[in-house]
């Protein structure tokens, strides 16, 4: 097996075929709208189903693999130079996609579309792939929903100053009650969302039942997006200075590197919590460490860092007002299945000639993480 596919699981004709009466689980959030029935009367494209072994059963569980086999003819391509690639029309993918460079595309001359059961496509889509006109659809919407749910949990807990009281309880409750008057709670508090893309918009939707104010900063989103969700658009400095919880949702772009720098970090209001589930390099971590060392009233909840994980000697591991998690805001375990289901929903739309709901353009891909 070639080096290109050494970390991939490529499922071909050995994918299990289930009884068509076996139901596909349908998630309440509407992402996993899979149907097990064969698409009768329509040609089944020749496809390769590719995903890392670590994620194969979670992204494409047996029912999903069976459905893939009903929608498409799964070819048992096993290596880069396999002649079977010349017949592949569709890639049903996941984490571990091969890079679609010119050499790869020359071996797959009939490839027309990629249905990707994960988020950003920047890791595998190339100029050659875009210029060839390959259609690419992403399950970022499903993964974004999971990230948003994680964020909402952290936001609600942080508005109660939960992490501060956890560490105070471990210290014997000596200082816990001193901070009670500073707890913003969920009524009348302000949550600030830095960047207002897919994840942040879902966060705003999930926070609507609560009696809090949600504000956001995003220089490219139209005002109609804010208005539709009842979110007030504010300047970034205002957001940082007035929010009880600041949640970062910034894509990793050249212009967003160290966006939250020392000057902006210093604007955080007393008792504020900073949550980062976007990318580590949008924060100036040296400035953050210096600030948190001086200001014990602040808390940082970091699901991403730069580098990731931090260097073993990083002060982030020892600062009492830092909480770190290992990039777990996105989909894990059974949560991944709705990404696979979304990818297969898109494949079915493509086969039937219906408009795709999650297709990505070259310009949109350039703005993805």
Distances (CA, A) of 336 to 59, 141, 357, 366, 368: 5, 12, 19, 24, 20
Lowest mean pLDDT among 43-47, 52-56, 349-353: 52-56
Query: Domains in the chain, ordered, with CATH?
Result: 3-141+333-366 (3.40.50.720), 143-324 (3.40.50.720)
The whole-number pLDDT of residue 7 equals 39
Ordered alpha helix ranges (H), the chain = 53-59, 62-71, 102-107, 127-132, 140-159, 162-170, 198-207, 223-228, 236-242, 262-265, 285-294, 337-352, 362-366
Whether the predicted pLDDT of 21 surpasses 90:
no
- What are the tens digits of pLDDT across the range 90-137? 999 999 898 999 999 999 999 999 999 999 899 999 999 999 999 999
Q: Which residues, including other chains, have CB under 8 Å from residue 228's CB and lie 6 or more apart?
A: none
Q: Is 261 left (phi over 0), alpha (psi -120 to 50) or beta?
A: beta
Q: What is the DSSP letter of 326?
A: -
Q: What percent of the chain has pLDDT over 70?
A: 85
Q: How confident is the model at residue 87 (pLDDT cuts 50, 70, 90)?
A: very high
The mean pLDDT value for 76-91 works out to 82
The whole-number pLDDT of residue 182 equals 77
Whether the predicted pLDDT of 27 surpasses 60:
no
CA–CA gap between residue 180 and residue 343 (Å, rounded): 47
CA–CA gap between residue 152 and residue 145 (Å, rounded): 11
Q: Which residues are catalytic?
A: 279, 308, 327
Spatial contact of 260 and 278, defined as CB atoms under 8 Å apart = no
The whole-number pLDDT of residue 84 equals 83
Q: Which residues, including other chains, have CB under 8 Å from residue 38's CB and lie 6 or more apart?
A: 20, 70, 71
Whether the predicted pLDDT of 227 surpasses 80:
yes
The whole-number pLDDT of residue 81 equals 65
- What are the tens digits of pLDDT across the range 315-343? 999 999 999 999 999 998 899 999 999 99
Q: How confident is the model at residue 287 (pLDDT cuts 50, 70, 90)?
A: very high
Q: How confident is the model at residue 169 (pLDDT cuts 50, 70, 90)?
A: confident
Average pLDDT, the chain: 87
Name residue 138's beta-bridge partners: 116
Whether the predicted pLDDT of 26 surpasses 50:
no
| Chain centroid to CA 2 | 29
Q: Which two tokens stand for residue 69?
A: 């086999």
What pTM, to 2 d.p., does this model score?
A: 0.82
């Amino acid at each position: 097996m070639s080096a290109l596919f050494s970390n991939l699981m490529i499922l071909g004709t050995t994918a299990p075929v289930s009884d068509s009466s076996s139901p596909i689980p349908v998630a309440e959030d509407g992402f996993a709208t899979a149907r097990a029935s064969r698409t009768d009367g329509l040609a089944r494209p020749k496809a390769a189903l590719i995903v890392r072994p670590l994620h194969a059963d979670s992204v494409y569980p047996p029912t999903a693999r069976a459905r893939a086999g009903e929608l498409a003819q799964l070819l048992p391509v096993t290596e880069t130079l396999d002649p079977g690639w010349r017949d592949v029309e569709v890639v049903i993918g996941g984490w571990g996609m091969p890079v679609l460079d010119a050499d790869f595309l020359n071996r797959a001359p009939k490839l027309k579309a990629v249905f990707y059961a994960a988020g950003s496509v920047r890791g595998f889509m190339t100029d050659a792939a875009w210029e060839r006109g390959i259609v690419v659809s992403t399950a970022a919407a499903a993964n974004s929903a999971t990230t948003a749910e994680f964020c909402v949990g952290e936001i609600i807990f942080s508005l109660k100053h939960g992490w501060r009281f956890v560490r105070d309880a471990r210290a014997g409750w000596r200082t816990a009650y001193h901070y009670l008057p500073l707890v913003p709670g969920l009524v009348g508090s302000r949550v600030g969302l830095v960047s207002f893309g897919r994840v942040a918009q879902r966060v705003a939707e999930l926070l609507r039942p609560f009696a809090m104010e949600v504000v956001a900063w995003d220089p490219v989103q139209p005002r109609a997006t804010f208005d539709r969700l009842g979110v007030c658009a504010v300047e970034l400095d205002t957001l940082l200075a007035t929010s009880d919880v600041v949640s970062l949702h910034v894509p990793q772009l050249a212009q967003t590197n160290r966006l939250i720098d020392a000057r902006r970090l210093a604007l955080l209001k007393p008792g504020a919590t900073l949550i980062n589930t976007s990318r580590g390099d949008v924060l100036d971590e040296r400035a953050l460490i210096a600030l948190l060392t001086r200001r014990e009233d602040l808390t940082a909840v970091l699901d991403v860092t730069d580098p990731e994980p931090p260097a073993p000697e990083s002060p982030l591991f020892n600062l009492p007002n830092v909480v770190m998690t290992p990039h777990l805001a996105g989909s894990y375990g059974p949560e991944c299945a709705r990404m696979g289901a979304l990818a297969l929903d898109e494949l079915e739309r493509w086969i039937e000639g219906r408009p795709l709901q999650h297709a990505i353009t070259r310009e949109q891909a350039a703005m993805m993480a």
